[in-house]
Amino acid sequence: MELTVAVTGASGSIYAQRTLVQLAASGEVERVNLITSQSALVVARVELGAALREGDAGALNEWLGLPADSKLVRWHRLDNMAAVPASGSHPQAGMIVVPCSMGTLGAIASGAGTNLIHRAADVTLKEGRRLVVVPRESPYNAIHLENMLRLSRAGARILPASPAFYHRPQTITEMVDHLVFRILDQFNVPHTRATAWKEETP
């Protein structure tokens, strides 16, 4: 399976990191096309202490706990409109935008893309592939909600970064992974199912 993962400047870099880690560990994903905004790299440094520079595959693999020479995650420049995620003729399963800023959400919803994230999302929708958008904002204003509704009507899956607690998370990672596993479920990517709901006997 091949997927595109886009990371924007919304708070919640850990959601992006754990999504990439779990995709890499799944055994089902053979390639991830990664696109990051400059703001995303700043937020990752502030929130997680990540010293990432666009295109630095070695630093990225270290951040994700992958072998230094791993080719699983391919980093594409934000301004590279000739990259494979920009073309509908390049087959892949879909795209995840995690976390998704409201600016990126609005650009995708309007169809007025100006960078590779916007274009790749537009291609995903027009080809009828699964687009999962993970907004991380609070509170939402009417524009945010209208843009989410527009994307939902266009076929996107809106999966807000809303933590759950029924699995009794003891760490931030456990709380984050619940959402990450829900993202993986959208593409039938296997995972531990450690946070899946267990039937309760009344």
pLDDT digits (tens, 9 = 90+) for 150-201: 999 999 999 999 988 988 889 999 999 999 999 999 999 988 777 777 776 6
CATH at 130 = 3.40.50.1950
- Quick check: is 202 in a domain? no
- Quick check: is 56 in a domain? yes
Which pLDDT score is estimated for 153? 97
Q: Number of folded domains in the chain?
A: 1
Report CA 185 to chain centroid distance, whole Å: 13
- Quick check: is 83 in a domain? yes
Which pLDDT score is estimated for 201? 62
- Quick check: is 20 in a domain? yes
- Quick check: is 32 in a domain? yes
Name the more confident of 50 and 18: 18
- Quick check: is 159 in a domain? yes
pLDDT in tens, 95-134: 999 999 999 999 999 998 899 999 999 999 999 999 999 9
Expressed as residue numbers, the domain containing 152 is 7-185
Which pLDDT score is estimated for 141? 96
Sheet-wide strand order for 157-158: 73-76, 31-36, 2-7, 94-100, 130-135, 157-158
- Quick check: is 130 in a domain? yes
Q: What is the residue-wise DSSP string for 121-143?
A: HHHHHHTT-EEEEEE--SS--HH
- Quick check: is 65 in a domain? yes
Residue 130: count other Cβ atoms within 10 Å of its Cβ. Answer: 17
Whole-prediction pTM value? 0.93
Q: What is the residue-wise DSSP string for 145-195?
A: HHHHHHHHHHTPEE-------TT---SHHHHHHHHHHHHHHTTT-----TT
